[in-house]
Amino acid sequence: MSDVRFLITGDISLTVEFGNEISEAINAKIRAFSIALADSGIPGIVETVPTYRSLMIHYDPGVILYEPLVERLRGLLGNLDRIEIPPSDVLEIPVLYGGEMGPDLEFVAQHSGKTPEEVVKIHTSTEYLIYMLGFTPGFTYLGGMSEEIATPRLKTPRVKIPAGSVGIAGAQTGVYPIDSPGGWQLIGRTPVRMYDPDRETPILPQAGQYIRFYAIDQAEYDRIAAEEAAGTYVCGRHPRKEGGK
């Protein structure tokens, strides 16, 4: 853990940086450290923000000052290897691919020299790690999409993309949690609400979990959308198997 750095980000937060690249190994360290921190009983922690390669910790200097906090955090690092990390949850996200919901599926298929069905097969065959959330409430930065279906962004972004749209931008894939402008190639849409401010858990995905997309038809889409509207839908999830794909 000698490569861990403590960065000063003002007088009410600090960042613990675990490396300088995007990798599952670094992400696993951040998860282990977050668990150790949550269990540590260190006082004055206000909230934490995991990102690709670091954990930002907001704290109350009225409870604990910078130096004693860093000392306690250093103490946690020594024991990280012994932390039992429970298997991550895999969120099962249903997607209606193509058609009106995924107007760019044909283009992505052409660009990658595949049929739309093959694109869907590739897109649904991976468990994508949620490295972090940011940009808008509930927007996930996912890792692990196959280069085979990587497609550049639209030349002219759309003014309004409906919430739930599933897109591809370069080698990234993700879901738009709220209506927003954007330039991603839209291949489908999920009826699942990634973000609902009035729900008890307003944001569905969490950093460190995985997402697996699966294809549904219009009838299934409508059924789930109705359940979401009624507040009765429960998103499928299962613990990830070691080395899962």
Partner 1 sequence: MSITVLNPGLLTTVQDMGRVGYQQFGVSVSGVMDPRAASIANILADNPEDEAVLECTMLGPHLRFDQDNCIAITGGDLGPTLDGQPVRGYQAIQVKAGQVLRFTAPKTGCRAYVAFTGGLDIPVVMGSRSTNLRAKIGGLEGRKLNKGDVIGFRAPRANLKNLGLRSIAPEFVPRSEYILRVVLGPQDDAFTKEGLDTFLGQTYTVTPEFDRMGCRLDGPVIQHVESGDIISDGISFGAIQVPAAGKPIIMLCDRQTTGGYTKIATVISADFRLLAQLKAGDKLRFQRVTIQHAQDALLTQRAALRALRSSVGM
Q: Which residues bind partner 1 (CB under 8 A)?
A: 7-13, 15, 17, 20-22, 46-54, 56, 58, 61-62, 65-67, 132-139, 141, 177-178, 197-198, 202-203, 206-207
Provide, rounded to whole angstroms, the least separation between the CB of residue 170 and partner 1: 14
In the complex with partner 1, the residue whose CB is nearer, 109 or 142, is 142
Q: How far apart are CA 37 and CA 58, in angstroms?
A: 12
Residue 199, SS3 per DSSP: coil
93 has which bridge partners?
A: 213
Give the DSSP H/E element, type plus range, for residue 161. strand 158-161
Provide, rounded to whole angstroms, the least separation between the CB of residue 46 and partner 1: 6
Provide, rounded to whole angstroms, the least separation between the CB of residue 213 and partner 1: 20
Provide, rounded to whole angstroms, the least separation between the CB of residue 208 and partner 1: 10
Q: What radius of gyration do the chain's Cα atoms show?
A: 20
In the complex with partner 1, the residue whose CB is nearer, 124 or 180, is 180
Torsion sign, CA atoms 125, 171, 167, 163: positive
What is the DSSP annotation of 182-234? Answer: E-PEEEEE--S-SB-TTSSS-B---TT-EEEEEE--HHHHHHHHHHHHHT---
Residue with tokens 């995985």: 210
Q: Are 200 and 87 in contact (CB under 8 A)?
A: no
* DSSP category for residue 200: S
Provide, rounded to whole angstroms, the least separation between the CB of residue 106 and partner 1: 31
In the complex with partner 1, the residue whose CB is nearer, 33 or 97, is 33
Provide, rounded to whole angstroms, the least separation between the CB of residue 22 and partner 1: 6
In the complex with partner 1, the residue whose CB is nearer, 54 or 165, is 54
Q: Are 58 and 12 in contact (CB under 8 A)?
A: yes
In the complex with partner 1, the residue whose CB is nearer, 47 or 147, is 47
In the complex with partner 1, the residue whose CB is nearer, 54 or 112, is 54
Q: How far apart are CA 33 and CA 35, in angstroms?
A: 5
